[in-house]
Structure 1
Amino acid sequence: MLAQRTKLFASSGTAAARAAAKAAADAGKEVIDLTAGEIWCDLAPRIREGALAAIERGENRYTDTVGLRELREALAAKVSRETGQVWQADEIAVTSGAKQALFNTAMVLLDPGDEVIIPSPYWTTFPAQVLIAGGRPVHVDTRDNGFVPKPEELERAITAKTRAIVVNSPSNPTGVVYDQTTLELIANLAIRHDLWIIFDECYGAFAHAPHVHHPIVSLVPEARSRTIIINAFSKTLALTGWRIGYLAAPKSVIDAVKALQSHTTSNPNVIAQHAVLEHLRHGDGSYERRLFDQLTLARRLGLDILSRQAIAPPPKAQGGFYFYLDLSGLAQRGAISTAPRTADDAVNALLAEAGVAGVSGSAFGDPMGLRLSYGIDHNKLTRGLERLVETVDAWTSPSRNVA
């Protein structure tokens, strides 16, 4: 007999999509995998040097529960530069990836029954962790507004039980970057209604011009006392497997997180901590620029190829490294009888017919969305998207119609 909470959530939809792609590849099918939320890139030189040096020094003991003091000081300096405000080491907690930072946040903020507003489509882990903490996710649909929440609709979703609002910009999965006005309105809404802001900016380094990523506390400094900033090095340094993230928050939140983490994972991986510290101290920014240039080229290539299909509007792709397609056209009048009707159907058909793996929007609360990562090798990306366009066009071809 399992605990009742296990009925509240399933495995991550993105993880399930990766598993399906791997299963097809293991069965001998050539698969181009566009599911993963990671960037294919060599390790940053300073990360490698820092890790090897830590191993040579024999760094294999516990650190402080929420990370090395020196690392938290370096992260406080980083957050200070990015927000234009002064942050201290005791306002930073280092975690085993952004997922743990979010889990810690949910566990120290939410009581059973508390509500958290989450714009939809959403990253699948946001509502799952609210449920694990005993809270209730309240979704606000953004699909009719270019995937940007309308502040008035957020306000209508607030009840006496509302405790927090999640802001994810640039957004996973939609790739939308929230504009300055929207962020200011959300911050003031939270202040007015005494809500926490959970500000996930893990893709903040990848905003594509003319779009600009704005830390919400920079725009509305008064919101700092109620904001938890979530970030990680999984995306910005292509370190998904190293599991190093952090949160910046008021000291009272960090103290609670420290107590919680002391009973779960304790400190994050010590070698990874030293590696990131070395990069923060001595990195010159060249690796980050190369990573951004790599994604910029991939985005340009992908948008060009996807412009050749007619079933979905051009994806936003304002930030991050995802193309998010609205496949509603498949279900609209005129789509032929043998074409897929939902994103789940489309994902299955693309894998079977084209050997291309994507993530269905159903994982993100959108039955007609399709997320495609462009963080992979450019040649594979080109082949995968060309196959996708050819297959999607065939779905709407009269020659496919079955009498």
Structure 2
Amino acid sequence: MLAQRTTLFKSSGTAAASDAAKAVAVGGKDVIDLTSGEIWSHTAPSVREGAIAAINSNINRYTDTLGLMELRHALARKISAETAQPWSADEIAVTTGAKQALFNAAMVLVNPGDEVLIPAPYWTTFPAQIIVAGGRPVFIETKHNHFVPRPADLAAAITRNTKAIVINTPNNPTGAVYDRDILASMAQLAIDRELWIIFDECYGTFAHAPHVHHPIVTLAPRARGRTLIVNSFSKSLALTGWRIGYLAGPKAVISAVKALQSHTTSNPNVIAQHALLHHLESGDATFQMQLQRQVSDARALGLSILSALRSVPQPIAQGGFYFYLDLSGLQRSAKARGHELNADDVVSTLLMDAGVATVSGTAFGDPAGVRLSYGIDLKLLEHGLRRLTATLDTWK
């Protein structure tokens, strides 16, 4: 008999979509996969050099649970530069990707019965980890406000059990970038109501002009003592498989994280740590700028193709590398003809009829949305989006 908690959550919806695409492809169908939350790219030269040097030096031993002290110092310098505030190594935990940073945050902050506010649509892992910790996710609908939470809606959802707010900008899956005013308002709300802020900025390097990513503690320094910053190098350096990220926050929280992490993964992969340290100390911004141009080019191409959609509005795509399609219009048209249509139906049809794999918004708490990744090869992206557009335009 399995533990009861296993009934409270299921496998990631994004992973399930990717698995479905692979299964269809194995059957011989030509499938263009737009499900993946990663950028197709080679590895940054400085990261490769650091990894190879570590291997050639026979580095294979444990590090401190929270990561190499030299790496934590380097990350503290990075965060200090990004936030315009001083950070120290004992405020940093190196983790096995951002997922572990978020899991650590949930486990050291959330008691059974605590409520955590999560703007919806949301990345599927946010509520799952809150539930594992014994908490209760409280979803704040944003679709009516261009996928940006309204402070009044957040305030109305706060109860005496509310413990934290999850802020994810640029947002996965919607691509929304929260501006200075909304972030300052959310920070002030957290200060006034004594809430923790879990600030996930994993897509921060991909805010598309004129939109700008703002670290929340820069806008609201008084919120720093109640803010946990979650980030990774999976997106900014295209290192998804290396599993290396970090959590930054008050020393007491990081100390608790150390105790927890010592009983879960212990230290992150030592080769990945040395590779990242070498990049931070010896690399430059060249590779990251190349990735940004690659993503920007893909976004421009994709928006041009999707502009031909007749019954689906053009996605906002302000940041990150996802197009998020709002199917509400299609659903209304289908209902007027006596048919029910949800995102799962659309995703299934796109996969089987158009050979395009996408992620249903039901994974993100939205039965009227579909997420498309544009982190893939440009030619494949073009073919995939043209197939998708042609299929959706047959539905009126």
Same fold, judged at TM 0.5 (above):
yes
Within 5 Å, give how 1:363-382 maps onto structure 2: 363-382=363-382
Counterparts of 1:332 and 1:339, CA distance in 2: 9
| Structure 1 position 333, deviation (Å) | 3.3
Deviations 1:290-313 (A, max 9, x none): 000000000000000000011111
Counterparts of 1:230 and 1:329, CA distance in 2: 35
**Alignment-derived partner of residue 135 in structure 1:** 135
Deviations 1:23-48 (A, max 9, x none): 01111110000000000001100010
**1:261 matched to 2:266:** no
Counterparts of 2:14 and 2:338, CA distance in 1: 26
Counterparts of 1:310 and 1:217, CA distance in 2: 41
**1:282 matched to 2:282:** yes
Counterparts of 1:53 and 1:177, CA distance in 2: 38
The residue type equivalent to 2:237 in the other structure is L
- The question of whether the paired residues in 1 share the 8 Å contact of 2:334 and 2:340 is answered with no
Counterparts of 2:263 and 2:373, CA distance in 1: 35
- The question of whether the paired residues in 2 share the 8 Å contact of 1:96 and 1:245 is answered with yes
Within 5 Å, give how 1:179-328 maps onto structure 2: 179-328=179-328
Identity of aligned residues (%): 66
The residue type equivalent to 2:230 in the other structure is I
**1:78 matched to 2:70:** no
Counterparts of 2:190 and 2:367, CA distance in 1: 29
**Alignment-derived partner of residue 15 in structure 2:** 15
Dislocated runs of 4+, deviation >2 Å:
333-340
Counterparts of 1:283 and 1:310, CA distance in 2: 46
Counterparts of 2:328 and 2:115, CA distance in 1: 30
- The question of whether the paired residues in 2 share the 8 Å contact of 1:72 and 1:94 is answered with yes
| Structure 1 position 334, deviation (Å) | 6.2
| Structure 1 position 336, deviation (Å) | 8.0
- The question of whether the paired residues in 2 share the 8 Å contact of 1:340 and 1:346 is answered with no
Counterparts of 1:106 and 1:282, CA distance in 2: 34
The residue type equivalent to 1:57 in the other structure is S
| Structure 1 position 330, deviation (Å) | 1.5
**Which stretch of structure 1 is more off in the superposition, 330-339 or 373-382?**
330-339
Q: Secondary structure at the match of 1:39?
A: coil
Q: Secondary structure at the match of 1:372?
A: strand
Q: Secondary structure at the match of 1:394?
A: coil
The two structures have a TM-score, normalised by structure 1, of 0.97
| Structure 1 position 337, deviation (Å) | 5.2
Change in CA separation of 1:339 and 1:291 when aligned onto 2, cut-off 3 Å: farther
Structure 2 unaligned spans of 5+: none
- The question of whether the paired residues in 1 share the 8 Å contact of 2:102 and 2:230 is answered with yes
Change in CA separation of 1:263 and 1:7 when aligned onto 2, cut-off 3 Å: same
- The question of whether the paired residues in 1 share the 8 Å contact of 2:334 and 2:341 is answered with no
The two structures have a TM-score, normalised by structure 2, of 0.99
**Alignment-derived partner of residue 359 in structure 1:** 359
| Structure 1 position 340, deviation (Å) | 7.2
Counterparts of 1:389 and 1:64, CA distance in 2: 51
